[in-house]
Amino acid sequence: MPIRTQSDLPAKEILENENIFVMDEFRAMHQDIRPLQVLILNNMPVKQDTELQLLRALSNTPLQVDVTFMNVKSHVSLNTSASHLNKFYITLDDVRDKKFDGMIVTGAPVEDISFEEVDYWREMCEIFDWAETHVTSTLHICWAAQAGYYHYYGINKKLLPRKLFGIYEHKVMNRKVPLVRGFDDIFLAPHSRHTETPAEAIHACEALKVLAESAVAGVYLAIAEGGKKIFVAGHPEYDRYTLNNEYHRDLDKGLSIQIPYNYYPGDDSSEKPLLQWRAHSNNLYSNWLNYYVYQSTPYEWN
């Protein structure tokens, strides 16, 4: 799939070196097709890493996707330069009157405090409410999934006794839903979090349908309103070294951190991590784009 980005976005050159087809604005303007408009609300601190991961994940269908990056205006990012944000990011004020076929809301490193304590929580709620009428389907990832469960259904998160950190097995629970079409019965996915939304509360909510679950990591994938809202508890977009970088970052800070579960061969952190979840990740994002964005969106938004 051609991913359309600004021609000078740093991630573009990296993706092209991976033989991923990235189209700039000039070429896209000369194609007589209707690209999908996907908005990415990037709450992660190092935004360039997440840009690359998500663009890579969206690159595996024949659909053309026009990606717009958004950030919240009520929080100052300390790990991404202001020049990068000013050049490549917009805020809700810039797109209030625009409709999008899909939206991805990323996680954020704020899970150890309550939602109301997050300095941009009110703005997050405003964006969630705006998406109800301006976005065909929204994919919530990790903390954003917990935030969505809380905002829409009043289901609060809880603190885990120990960080959930590593690669975990999950079982498909409902094969009839297109989002999990092509999944193996058991698949692997990364997690990196200190909190969870209780599985029993998700199962008890009539608005939510659980599609995949782990005996250790809890509910991984849930869907609501026929795919208008999708919740992913883990990080399928992570690349091979993301958990490795998080692990060594915490070690360097002197924090108490266990070695990522089921990640390094023989639990030896000097070994190259095994990439065990890429096929599942590609399948998830491709199914989302095809069945819940492309198949559901109108050709022209009115």
Is 67 in contact with 4 (CB distance < 8 Å)?
yes
- Say if strands 135-141 and 100-105 run parallel, antiparallel, or are unpaired: parallel
Check if the beta carbon of residue 22 is closer than 8 Å to that of residue 6.
no
Quick one: which H or E segment has residue 161?
strand 158-172
Which tokens hold the place of 22? 């990235």
Looking at the DSSP assignment, which residues form a beta bridge with residue 22? 3
Element (H, E) at 4: strand 3-4
The set of catalytic residues is: 142, 235, 237
Q: What is the per-residue DSSP string for 191-243? A: EEEEEE--HHHHHH-TTEEEEEEETTTEEEEEEEGGGTEEEESS-TT--TTHH
Are residues 137 and 102 in contact, defined by beta-carbon separation less than 8 angstroms? Answer: yes
Please say whether the beta carbons of 7 and 26 come within 8 A.
Answer: yes
CA distance 165 to 192: 4
